[in-house]
Amino acid sequence: MSASLASECNEVKERYDSCFLKWYSEKFLRGTATSDECDPLFKQYEKCISKALKERGIDSMLKEAREDNRENDAEHMRPKR
């Protein structure tokens, strides 16, 4: 698995990634997913990584980029029908 930006998040990231890969290949790709079963694990991972991003000052940069992205999505990624 790929490493996390923050080494303290590696463990929880690995747990989430494993769950996701299983869900993605066994349910999502087969079209049988009804919900994102790994969400509870993601929440734990998110908590760790959010803190790390904040500490590194990346959170504000991200927020800005995602806002730009949203504008861009509205323009270019609208559903075709």
Partner 1 sequence: MVKFYSSSDTYTYPFTAVTLAYFLRYPNPYSTHVLSTDTIARHYDPTTQRLTTIRLHLKRSKLPSAVLKLIPRSLIGASAGGDTQAYILEKSVVDVKEGWMDTESRNLEWTGVLSVVERQVFRRPGCTYGDDIRQTEDEDEGLWKGMEGAARRHGFIAQSSENTAADKITNNGETTEVASSVTLHSHIGEKWKKRSAASSTAPTEEKVGFFKSLGTASLQRSIEIIGLKRARRSQPNAKEGMKVVLERMREGGLVGVLEGMRRDREMILGGHAHAFKKGNTSGEEE
Residues forming the site for partner 1 (CB under 8 A): 1-5, 9, 13, 16-17, 20-21, 24-26, 28-31, 33-36, 42, 45-46, 49, 53, 58, 61-62, 65-66, 69, 76-77, 80
> At closest approach, how far in Å is the CB of 10 from partner 1?
9
CB of 29 to partner 1, least distance (A): 5
CB 33 within 8 A of CB 23: yes
- Please answer whether residues 4 and 49 qualify as being in contact, where contact means their C-beta atoms are separated by less than 8 angstroms: yes
Q: From CA 63, how far away is CA 43, in angstroms rounded?
A: 18
Closer to partner 1 by CB, 11 or 26: give it.
26
Q: How far is the CB of 47 from partner 1 (least distance, A)?
A: 12
- Which positions ≥6 away from 33 have C-beta within 8 Å? 23, 27
